[in-house]
Protein backbone atom coordinates (compact mmCIF):
# COMPACT_ATOMS: atom_id res chain seq x y z
CA UNK A 1 0.00 0.00 0.00
CA UNK A 2 0.90 3.65 -0.17
CA UNK A 3 3.45 4.91 2.36
CA UNK A 4 3.23 8.45 3.68
CA UNK A 5 6.18 10.06 5.42
CA UNK A 6 6.10 13.45 7.09
CA UNK A 7 8.99 15.57 8.23
CA UNK A 8 10.06 16.91 10.57
CA UNK A 9 8.33 14.92 13.30
CA UNK A 10 8.56 17.82 15.74
CA UNK A 11 8.95 21.54 15.28
CA UNK A 12 9.34 24.25 17.90
CA UNK A 13 8.93 27.87 16.83
CA UNK A 14 8.73 31.32 18.27
CA UNK A 15 5.64 33.29 17.40
CA UNK A 16 6.11 35.09 14.09
CA UNK A 17 8.44 32.51 12.54
CA UNK A 18 7.81 30.74 9.24
CA UNK A 19 7.92 26.99 8.71
CA UNK A 20 7.71 24.35 6.00
CA UNK A 21 6.29 20.88 6.58
CA UNK A 22 6.90 18.12 4.09
CA UNK A 23 4.89 15.05 3.05
CA UNK A 24 6.36 12.35 0.80
CA UNK A 25 4.20 9.60 -0.63
CA UNK A 26 5.19 6.43 -2.39
CA UNK A 27 2.66 6.15 -5.24
CA UNK A 28 0.35 8.20 -7.44
CA UNK A 29 -2.62 9.69 -5.61
CA UNK A 30 -5.82 11.43 -6.56
CA UNK A 31 -6.59 12.72 -3.09
CA UNK A 32 -4.17 14.55 -0.82
CA UNK A 33 -5.35 16.49 2.19
CA UNK A 34 -3.64 18.43 4.96
CA UNK A 35 -5.25 18.51 8.39
CA UNK A 36 -4.54 20.30 11.63
CA UNK A 37 -5.38 18.40 14.79
CA UNK A 38 -5.84 20.94 17.53
CA UNK A 39 -5.09 20.31 21.21
CA UNK A 40 -8.73 19.26 21.71
CA UNK A 41 -8.32 16.48 19.17
CA UNK A 42 -10.41 17.94 16.36
CA UNK A 43 -9.23 17.36 12.79
CA UNK A 44 -9.52 20.56 10.82
CA UNK A 45 -9.40 20.43 7.01
CA UNK A 46 -6.69 22.77 5.75
CA UNK A 47 -6.28 21.87 2.10
CA UNK A 48 -7.47 19.40 -0.48
CA UNK A 49 -4.53 19.51 -2.87
CA UNK A 50 -3.76 16.44 -5.02
CA UNK A 51 -1.76 18.78 -7.28
CA UNK A 52 -0.89 22.44 -7.65
CA UNK A 53 -0.74 25.29 -5.15
CA UNK A 54 -3.35 26.79 -2.87
CA UNK A 55 -3.29 29.54 -0.29
CA UNK A 56 -5.55 30.33 2.62
CA UNK A 57 -4.44 33.28 4.70
CA UNK A 58 -1.11 32.56 6.35
CA UNK A 59 -1.14 28.97 5.13
CA UNK A 60 -0.31 27.69 1.70
CA UNK A 61 0.33 24.27 0.22
CA UNK A 62 1.99 22.90 -2.87
CA UNK A 63 1.80 19.38 -4.24
CA UNK A 64 4.15 18.17 -6.96
CA UNK A 65 2.37 14.98 -7.91
CA UNK A 66 4.99 13.85 -10.43
CA UNK A 67 7.65 13.95 -7.72
CA UNK A 68 5.32 12.58 -5.04
CA UNK A 69 5.59 15.23 -2.38
CA UNK A 70 3.59 18.03 -0.84
CA UNK A 71 4.64 21.01 1.24
CA UNK A 72 2.66 22.99 3.79
CA UNK A 73 3.89 26.51 4.51
CA UNK A 74 2.95 28.37 7.65
CA UNK A 75 3.93 32.03 7.75
CA UNK A 76 4.00 34.36 10.74
CA UNK A 77 3.09 31.50 13.06
CA UNK A 78 0.79 32.09 16.03
CA UNK A 79 0.31 30.12 19.24
CA UNK A 80 -3.03 28.92 17.90
CA UNK A 81 -1.14 27.13 15.12
CA UNK A 82 0.15 24.62 17.69
CA UNK A 83 -0.96 21.04 17.28
CA UNK A 84 -0.31 18.14 14.95
CA UNK A 85 -0.35 18.52 11.18
CA UNK A 86 -1.27 15.47 9.16
CA UNK A 87 -0.91 14.73 5.50
CA UNK A 88 -3.31 12.06 4.19
CA UNK A 89 -3.58 10.48 0.75
CA UNK A 90 -5.76 8.08 -1.19
CA UNK A 91 -5.03 6.39 -4.49
CA UNK A 92 -8.54 5.71 -5.69
CA UNK A 93 -11.98 7.22 -5.67
CA UNK A 94 -14.04 7.71 -2.53
CA UNK A 95 -14.45 4.44 -0.71
CA UNK A 96 -10.74 4.11 -0.19
CA UNK A 97 -9.43 4.94 3.25
CA UNK A 98 -7.24 7.98 3.61
CA UNK A 99 -3.74 6.88 4.54
CA UNK A 100 -2.35 9.25 7.13
CA UNK A 101 1.24 10.13 7.84
CA UNK A 102 2.49 10.13 11.43
CA UNK A 103 2.19 13.89 11.59
CA UNK A 104 4.35 16.87 12.49
CA UNK A 105 3.88 18.19 16.00
CA UNK A 106 4.19 21.97 16.00
CA UNK A 107 4.65 24.00 19.16
CA UNK A 108 4.54 27.78 18.86
CA UNK A 109 5.50 29.81 21.89
CA UNK A 110 4.90 33.50 22.51
Partner 1 sequence: EAQVTQNPRYLITVTGKKLTVTCSQNMNHEYMSWYRQDPGLGLRQIYYSMNVEVTDKGDVPEGYKVSRKEKRNFPLILESPSPNQTSLYFCASSLAFRTSGNPYEQYFGPGTRLTVT
Q: Which residues bind partner 1 (CB under 8 A)?
A: 30-31, 33, 35, 41-43, 45, 48, 86, 88, 90, 93-95, 97-98, 100-103
Distance (Å) of CA 88 to CA 36, 53, 75, 76: 11, 16, 22, 24
Distance CA 100, CA 23 (A): 10
The alpha carbon of 44 is separated from its chain's Cα centroid by a whole number of angstroms, namely: 11
Nearer to partner 1, 87 or 108 (CB): 87
Nearer to partner 1, 66 or 97 (CB): 97
Query: Least distance to partner 1 from the beta carbon of 15, Å?
Result: 27
Amino acid sequence: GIQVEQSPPDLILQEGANSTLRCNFSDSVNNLQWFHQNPWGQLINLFYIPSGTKQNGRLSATTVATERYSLLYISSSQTTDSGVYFCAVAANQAGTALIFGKGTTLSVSS
